[in-house]
Structure 1
C-alpha cells in the first residue's frame, strides 16, 4: 500500500495517524457526517456523443456500445472478477443535481429566500404580472425588433 511505501522510503520519519487517514471520498463524508448520496446522482455518458444514462440502466445494457444509433462510442468497460462475475465500469461519469433539489437545498440556508427577494419594492407583489408596456426597442436598443 501507499502507506507502507512511504514508511519504507522514509524510515526515520514518523507519520502519526497515517494508518487512519481517509483514502476515499466516501470515508471523508462518513467521518464528517455528510451524505451526498441523496443529493447527487452520478450519471454515466458516452464519451463520444455524451448520451446520458442513469446508474440503474448499467446492468440492463446488453453491450458496452453506445445506444445512440449514430455513435460508435462505448459506455462502459467490462472486467472479469476472480469469481467469474463481470464488473461494468462506466467510461465517463458525470455528477448531476436535479434543479428542484438544488433549489430546495438553497432555500434551507438561513436568509437565502429573503436575499432573493431584496430587489422587490413596496408595491411589488409575488403574483403574476402582465407584460410591460415599454416597447422592446427601448429596453434593448442594440437589438432590432420585428413585431408582427
Structure 2
C-alpha cells in the first residue's frame, strides 16, 4: 500500500512539474517575442481577447491603465526596428490548478540598453486544446 501511495504521489509531482514547465515556456515565448518586437510570436501564446493592465507607481499616486491586445500589438509594431526592448526577468513563481495557471515575474525593462523601469508582471493563463494561452496580464512599473 505504501509503495502505491509513493508511486501515485510521484506521478502527481511529475505531472505538476511538466505542467509548470509548459506554462513557463509560454511566458518565455511572450518575452522572446516582446524583446524581438515580434508580434506574430507573441500572438502564438496569447488569447485573442487578452486583457492588459498596468499600474505606474508614483510617489504622489498610482496610475492605473488598461489597453486592448490590439493596441499593445500596435505599440510593439510601431517600435519594431526603431527601439530595442529587453525585459530582464528575475525569477518565475508559478502556480497551477488543472487548466489555469498564475505566473509572477519581477523584471527590469530596458530600451536601447538603457534602464527604463522595473516592476512585476502577473500573468493568468488558461489551457486550451491548442495549449496554454495568456488571457490576462497586469504589471507594475516603477522608475
Give TM-score, length-normalised by structure 1: 0.23
**Structure with the largest fraction of helix:** 2
Higher relative contact order (CA 8 A, sep 6+): 2
**Structure with the largest fraction of strand:** 2
Give TM-score, length-normalised by structure 2: 0.24
